[in-house]
Chains A and B, each alone.
Chain A
């Protein structure tokens, strides 16, 4: 079964740091891009950041709201990805989901391709609460 499992959520004071982990199984972890998405209580989904596989240069992308404070990394030998969060703010309080990025490229003929990129599966989420 393909799955990802997050851990590391906690109650922390504003300005402090926290590291979330995401362990993948049932797929070739090193071949997969991984994303983090968060959801504040009663709110919608907010993309936080993505880290690509080594094949794509282990490129990291961040939402503007976390750029410079959050850092993505991965240890493919352990099958774990990390979200290092620093200078935490109360507005960072949310359930943080880890999810695998699936990439599809299908040749349709005549030089045309059908490309798709989606998030699947999602972990169960880990709760981060930033409060004094």
Chain B
């Protein structure tokens, strides 16, 4: 299953609302996870099962979608949110990740 994220990068300001999309090449139900990775650090899970917020993750992160189209939205962007975001399907093997979306400060 191919996972395609868009955009590959974006520039935004603190306080902005941004959305990242992830499209699967075939239907995956809600078997979609979102991860955040900061430079030099390991990824951490933000959202699993398409829309469930991982414990400890701020509520400004929301996930949605099902089937082939998914969205990660960050409301009120904070300085610590500037990072790279990846989607990943857990519907079938081989597991696959999107190519990543780098969120930079405008």
Enumerate chain A interface residues (CB-CB to B < 8 A): 35, 37, 44-47, 50, 61-64, 97, 102, 104, 114-125
B interface, size bucket: 20 to 34
Q: Is the interface of A mostly helix, strand, loop or mixed?
A: strand
C-alpha spacing A45/B33, complex, angstroms: 13
A-B contact count (CB 8 A): 69
Task: Determine the chain A residues whose CB is within 8 A of the CB of B97 once the complex forms.
Answer: 37, 44-47
CB–CB B95/A118 < 8 A: no
Q: Considering the complex, give the chain A residue whose CB is closest to the CB of B50.
A: A116
Q: A97-B42, A104-B49, A118-B90 are in contact. List 13 more A-B contacts (CB 8 A).
A: A44-B98, A45-B37, A47-B94, A47-B96, A114-B49, A116-B49, A117-B31, A118-B54, A119-B33, A119-B43, A120-B54, A121-B44, A124-B42
Residues of A contacting B98 with CB < 8 Å? 44
A75 to B52, CA, bound (A): 32
- What are 29 A-B contacts with C-beta separation under 8 Å? A44-B86, A44-B97, A44-B98, A45-B35, A45-B43, A45-B100, A47-B96, A50-B95, A61-B93, A61-B94, A62-B94, A97-B43, A104-B49, A114-B49, A116-B48, A116-B52, A117-B31, A117-B48, A117-B90, A118-B49, A118-B54, A119-B35, A119-B45, A120-B45, A120-B54, A121-B44, A122-B42, A122-B44, A123-B42
